[in-house]
Structure 1
Amino acid sequence: MEKGERNNVYRVYDKIAAWFAENRINGLLEQKYLERLISLLPKNALVLDLGCGTGKPILEYLSRNNMAIIGVDASEEILKIAQANFPTTTFILQDMRLLNLKRQFDAIIAWHSFFHLSAAEQPAMFARFASHLKPGGILLFTSGTERGEAWGMNGGENLFHASLDPKEYLDLLQSNNFTVIEHVEKDPECNYDTVWLAKFG
């Protein structure tokens, strides 16, 4: 390993699950994007939270707004915490790279999760996103601002992140029948996240 686990970042989350649960920002910096998402969805929409973590704060917020949610994460330890937090929610242990739920959703959220895949692995995800969305479904995800890799310390462990170039994301979205609704780079109101919102079909 170079600096840490780069191929299966969920193994790092297994190590730092308790730390992450205590230190993940629970303030809803993402709220305006979640509100935008909700405004585009039918009532009682079915949402896939891909890389759901502990379920706080995103899954929790969507649940309070009458969304039906299924949470997917590859970290077994993180999902134990999520299930304890939300006992009535369905959680599935699965690597997003192997996502095959055989059902379609009104929306998919991959917030601070998709970017843990390498640049080589990210393009294939767009066909998986498309196959799990209903026509008119919405995809919300975060990325970097340029092609490259980055590492960040969390709970004493080095976490791997990667990004494609914005044009690559745009091309991938378009070639998989998505239309970009919104793309904001380094939003200062949202912890300088770079956010994509796209419609399928």
Structure 2
Amino acid sequence: MNERHAGKIVAHYERHASDWDADRRSCGWNDKKWHDRFVALLHNGARVLDLGCGGGMPVACNVVAHGMWVTGVDSSPSLIALCRERLPDQEWIVADMRGLRLPRVFEGILAWDSYFHLDPVDQRSMFEVFAAHARQGTILMFNTGPTFGEAVGSYRGDPLYHSSLDPSEYRQLLARYDLELIDHSIEDPQVGGRTVWLARGR
């Protein structure tokens, strides 16, 4: 059953694009603490790859406000349209992040509130995507569940899939792809209970 729901994430976000965007903007930015940490590790003019960028609010807008450039990737054409309207000078791409292969690297990579919708197999293979777009010193930040498992919640009456690897496996993947762990927080109460990984390319 979880495999079936995992395959519906792309359609889910396109179907609920306007609701997701409105809810994200209206519920308050309780995860700002980690995004402030992320941008503080980057320099003015840095290039940031935002995987699963949604409508660009508030994350991409915050990156741009700090003098950086964003390449945002999302599978939802409707959400990318919102990004283009809000931040027309940035780069926006309609694509599935699992198959992304851009011919350049970035100083920062985000996979925030998006990576955890992938099933365990795709989560593992995403590290190849991270590594393909990183160089020495690249800052990577993503969030996951606290322990290995899959869960199906709901959003506006539709099933919504999440999964997580075991923390030990994330550490192994980071090491395998030459990403040094800077910080890790499990179910951080200050950011809505998110489990966060912050790493740097070696």
Q: Does 1:6 align with 2:22?
A: no
- Give the distance between the partners of 1:110 and 1:2, measured in 2 at CA: 21
Match of 2:116 in 1: 115
For residues 93-148 of structure 1, give each alpha carbon's deviation from its aligned partner in whole angstroms, at most 9, with x where no partner exists: 11111010111000100000011110111111112101101211010000001111
Q: CA deviation at 1:81?
A: 2.2
Provide the C-alpha distance between the structure 1 equivalents of 2:25 and 2:116, rounded to a whole number of angstroms.
18
Which ranges in structure 1 are unaligned for 5 or more consecutive residues?
Answer: none
2 CA distance for matches of 1:79 and 1:52?
Answer: 8
Distance in 2 separating the partners of 1:41 and 1:187: 23
**1:5–1:12 CA contact under 8 A, matched in 2:** no
After the TM superposition, which segments of 4 or more aligned residues of structure 1 sit over 3 Å from their partners? 1-5
Aligned residue in 2 for 1:34: 35
> Helix, strand or coil: the match of 2:73?
strand
TM-score (norm 2): 0.94
Q: Is the 8 A contact 2:2 2:152 kept in 1?
A: no
Shift of 1:84: 2.2
CA distance in 1, matches of 2:119, 2:4: 13
**8 Å Cα contact 2:3-2:119 kept in structure 1:** no
Mapping 1:18-167, distance limit 5 Å: 18-26=18-26, 27-167=28-168
For 2:113, give the aligned amino acid. Answer: H
Deviations 1:40-61 (A, max 9, x none): 1122110011100000110011
Question: When the two structures are aligned, how many residues end up with a matched partner?
Answer: 201
The answer to which structure has the higher helix fraction is: 2
2-structure distance, mates of 1:113, 1:93: 14
In structure 2, runs of 5+ residues without a counterpart are: none
Mapped partners of 1:127, 1:19: distance in 2:
32
RMSD value over aligned CA atoms? 1.6
Q: Hey, what's the Cα distance between the residues in 2 that align with 1:174 and 1:25?
A: 35
